[in-house]
């Protein structure tokens, strides 16, 4: 746990650690999304130019997901009580 957020651990890394130490049914749960107002808005316009605007806006949405995704996560796994 890093409460300072100086050295955060990627969710997939934590999932791997649990799975490699014998936990099963490991799942990631994300919470704390950034407010929609903080996201980059799509550009208005038509796709009369062959879909370029739509393609650009899909790129903006991917960027939004990367930059403004959920801020918190939990990793949940089950470990058998039998060795």
Q: pLDDT digits over 38-48, tens only?
A: 899 988 876 66
pLDDT at 75: 95
Output the pLDDT for position 1.
Answer: 60
pTM of the model: 0.62
pLDDT tens-place string over residues 60-71: 999 998 888 888
5-23 tens-digit pLDDT:
788 888 999 999 999 999 9
The beta-carbon contacts of 62-71 under 8 Å, at least 24 apart in sequence, are 64/39, 64/40, 67/40, 68/33, 68/34, 68/38, 68/39, 69/30, 69/33, 69/34, 70/30, 70/31, 70/32, 70/33, 70/34, 71/31, 71/32, 71/33, 71/34
């Amino acid at each position: 746990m890093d409460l300072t957020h100086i050295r955060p651990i990627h969710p997939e890394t934590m999932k791997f650690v649990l799975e490699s130490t014998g936990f099963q049914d490991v799942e990631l749960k994300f919470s704390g999304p950034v407010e929609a107002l903080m996201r980059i808005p799509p550009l208005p316009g038509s796709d009369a130019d062959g879909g370029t605007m739509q393609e650009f806006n899909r790129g903006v949405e991917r960027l939004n997901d990367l930059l403004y995704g959920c801020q918190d996560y939990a990793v949940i796994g089950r470990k058998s009580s039998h060795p």
